[in-house]
Structure 1
Amino acid sequence: MTFDEAHATFIRRHTEKRSGERRGRLERGHQHAEILFLRNVWWPLRGNFKDLHPEYEVLDWRRRPYFADFAWLPGYMKLIFEIKGYATHVRDMDRQKYCNELNRETFLHAMDFHVISFAYDDIEQRPDLCITLLRMVLSKYQPSHHPVSRAQLAEKEVIRLAIEQSRSLRPKDVERHFEIDHKTSVLMLKRMCAKGLLRPSYGGSRERIVRYELAREAIDYF
């Protein structure tokens, strides 16, 4: 099934289930930016629209309806995806709208929704970046489709640790995080270097590796 066929079925199915303003909002709100996100980012990564809800209604703290661009509801997790254009969400936004948007995101977080925002310019011009970031987000909530060894799980955790620290890793960082000895941490880091996931950083004499930098290929490992 092509994207256009799957998308038409997806929207028709949700439209048939709705009435009143919820249906009207779907017909009015699901336009170019939202379709571009599905075409350029979601479809290449997922290949289906399972558990995805367009123009998803949530009541805010004032009991007023708010329609998110998309909600992904696979069961126990609740993710909201917003596509934000510069003009609408930055250039033309006044102070009150800005406050309301921040308050809404905080309220959604309190209601156990996780809000993920993508810039329209990235979706249009840099979809590969959006796909990589979305893959990282979704990988936290779904098991792999292939058997995963304990070594692979550990390597992904090392990558997450490096991303969180926003700096190069020392063997000591890995030792503390996994509660393992120094030799085991060094072997793990060197194995990841051999796979191209990390790059060694040498000391002044360049005789001894002192740190490990995250390689670009590591992001695609998820």
Structure 2
Amino acid sequence: MFEKEYEAFWKDQVRNASGQRLEMLHRDLTGTKIMLKTLLVPVFGSFEGLVLEHEMVSVSGVKIFGDTLLPQLRIIFEEEHYVTHAERITRDRFSFERARARSVAMLGFTYFPYSRDELEKKPEFCQRNLFEFIGRIGNAEGVGLLQLPVYEREVMRFAIMRSKPFELSDVSLWLQLKHETCRKVMRELELKGLVRSIGGGKIRCHEFMLTDKAASLLFRHSKFGD
């Protein structure tokens, strides 16, 4: 059953990919497949919502890819084989991998790596780790999604689909409201700990990002109801 579902999932990913991401999807994905089979599908119940070879741009401007992304919680899952990520790695490659991990964090994603040995020999342990992490961010204090004003909910929904920082002009486009009104909406979201500002000064910021607390609210509502 897993093999058939994986094949359908992979074909769907390929169908919606282009450029370098398409090339990445045609490389050897044995490690990613092991991670899906022993960890992600058992924990999340299906392939729904997962993205293979998520494309990002690092802080140095280089394209980087995450093995598997869960957009709702902004988690990048990585399968790392000891031979390719440690035993045979060069110093330059080691430095690149560290810089890559920093870039993932700076883009607002949680970097969640597993070794292949762990996935193959201790799958239950790996699953418990992930369940615990989801539980921790899911237990964030605050209001439920449906208790938020509609404009605040809409900003969160659009932002999670965007999967990258957004500006006040984006909020204005999403809500079809003037900037001053949108600024008030964003101020409320910041006070509730659902968005954080990036760059700018004390009075005005350049961009915004959803927090883990916001992502967990959206995830819990979409998957389990609120």
| Same fold by TM-score greater than 0.5 | yes
1:112 is paired with a residue whose SS is: coil
In structure 1, C-alpha distance between the alignment counterparts of 2:42 and 2:109, rounded to whole Å: 24
Residue 5 (structure 2) aligns with: 6
Measure, in 2, the Cα distance between the counterparts of 1:56 and 1:15. Answer: 12
**Structure 2 segments unaligned to the other structure (5+ residues):** 140-226
Residue aligned with 2:27, SS: helix
Q: 1:135 aligns with which of 90, 106, 131?
A: 131
Q: Distance in 2 between matches of 1:64 and 1:95?
A: 19
Aligned to 2:96: 100
- For residues 27-71 of structure 1, give each alpha carbon's deviation from its aligned partner in whole angstroms, at most 9, with x where no partner exists: 114x21111111111122221122211111111122111111111
User: Is the partner of 2:114 in helix, strand or coil?
Assistant: strand
RMSD after superposition = 1.5
Partner-residue secondary structure (3-state), 2:32? helix
1:84 aligned onto 2:80: yes
Query: Which position in structure 1 is the counterpart of 2:69?
Result: 71
Find the aligned partners of 1:115 and 1:14 in 2 and give their Cα distance: 21
Per the TM alignment, residue 80 of structure 1 is displaced from its structure 2 partner at its CA by 0.5
Q: Residues 1-222 of structure 1: matches in 2 within 5 Å? A: 2-29=1-28, 31-74=29-72, 77-142=73-138
State the aligned residue count: 139
By how many angstroms is 1:142 displaced? 4.1
> What SS does the corresponding residue of 2:53 show, helix, strand or coil?
strand
Cα distance in 2 for partners of 1:81, 1:89 equals 15
In the TM superposition, residue 103 of structure 1 has moved relative to its aligned partner by 1.5
8 Å Cα contact 1:52/1:71 also seen in 2: yes
- Verify the 8 A CA contact 1:3 1:43 in the aligned structure 2: no
Q: CA deviation at 1:20?
A: 2.5
Residues 137-184 of structure 1: per-residue CA shift (max 9 Å, x gap) = 2223447xxxxxxxxxxxxxxxxxxxxxxxxxxxxxxxxxxxxxxxxx
What amino acid is the match of 1:81?
Answer: F
TM-score, normalising length: structure 2: 0.58
Which structure is larger by alpha-carbon Rg, 1 or 2? 1
Amino acid at match of 2:74: K
**Contact preservation (8 Å) 1:55, 1:68:** yes
TM-score by length of 1: 0.59
User: How many percent of aligned residue pairs carry the same amino acid?
Assistant: 22
SS at match of 1:140: helix
Whichever residue aligns with residue 35 of structure 1, its letter is K
Q: Which amino acid aligns with 1:105?
A: A
